[in-house]
């Protein structure tokens, strides 16, 4: 799964809720040969498909299936998604600095057709502020454990 950090999950922002649903929406299904064999390939040699077929981030396709804010389904470049999500840090201090610098902001990632060139829309990730995270955590605590 792509969304791995609290800053991208613990929020009540519609953009993040859409983002979470997008990346978890469709499973292309891993084959017996592993998830990468179930991905399509475009003319540029890029793989495309759902991140759910991957057992780890290293096995994700180059273009990850997503739904743009305009409702069109397409693919985001894994490198752009990682940069927008703050996924590439060398230390906890670097991660905290990134989170502080991006609090309350949106990251916009282009959504492409499977060719990796034709733009079909944008995907927005919201990075909640400390107040937004606290409100989301309080709401979750009031609603009780899942399934109750």
CA distance 1 to 22: 11
How does pLDDT run across 69-121, given as a tens digit for each residue?
999 999 999 999 999 988 888 899 998 898 889 999 999 999 999 999 999 99
Q: Is 47 helix (H, G, I), strand (E, B) or coil?
A: strand
Q: Any idea what DSSP says for residue 31?
A: B
> pTM higher than 0.95, yes or no?
no
CA distance 53 to 96: 30
CA distance 27 to 110: 21
What band does 36 get if pLDDT is binned at 50, 70 and 90?
A: low
Please, which contacts does 4-7 make with residues 24 or more away whose CB atoms are closer than 8 Å?
Answer: 4/85, 4/87, 5/85, 5/86, 5/87, 5/95, 5/99, 6/133, 7/86, 7/99, 7/102, 7/103, 7/127, 7/128, 7/133
């Amino acid at each position: 799964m792509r969304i791995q950090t609290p800053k991208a999950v613990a929020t009540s922002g519609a953009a993040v809720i859409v983002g979470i649903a997008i990346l978890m929406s469709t499973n292309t299904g891993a084959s017996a040969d592993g998830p990468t064999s179930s991905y399509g390939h475009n003319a540029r040699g890029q793989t495309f498909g759902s991140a759910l077929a991957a057992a780890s981030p290293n096995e994700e396709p180059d273009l990850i299936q997503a739904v743009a804010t305009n409702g069109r389904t397409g693919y985001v470049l894994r490198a752009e998604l990682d940069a927008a999500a703050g996924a590439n840090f060398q230390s906890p201090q670097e991660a905290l600095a990134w989170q502080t610098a991006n609090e309350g902001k949106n990251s916009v990632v282009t959504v492409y057709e499977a060719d990796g060139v034709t733009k079909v829309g944008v995907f927005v990730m919201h990075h909640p502020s400390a107040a937004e995270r606290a409100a989301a955590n309080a709401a979750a605590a009031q609603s009780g454990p899942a399934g109750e």
